[in-house]
Amino acid sequence: MNFYKGEFNRVLSDDDLRDAILSVDNSLQPGHYWPQLRDLIGHETQRQWAKDKRFPSPSWYFCAFAEQIRQMHKAQKEQTALYDALQGV
């Protein structure tokens, strides 16, 4: 579990990777979102996981990782919309 925290911190604290994540439409179905995210940030991540022999199937674990990022991205978008709506009140 700590490994995933470290990976989230690494990805989300990198300005370029964060911009790449925000460029993907988070309203896409997971099966469409994950490949787009993989194209942007996943190849390097999966290659490193395979090199470290971190997981038996890095691509499968990346899907779970990508889904968590999608949910965080979607929640952030919803929180921003809520904040904007409250500011208008």
Distance CA 4, CA 6 (A): 5
Share of the chain above pLDDT 70, in %: 98
At residue 1, the pLDDT reads 61
Average pLDDT on 69-79 reads: 92
Which has the closest alpha carbon to 44: 75, 14, 74, 1? 14
Mean pLDDT across the chain: 89
At residue 89, the pLDDT reads 62
At residue 67, the pLDDT reads 92
pLDDT digits (tens, 9 = 90+) for 3-32: 888 989 988 899 998 899 999 998 889 889
Q: Is 70 exposed, middle or buried (0-12, 13-18, 19+ CB in 10 A)?
A: buried
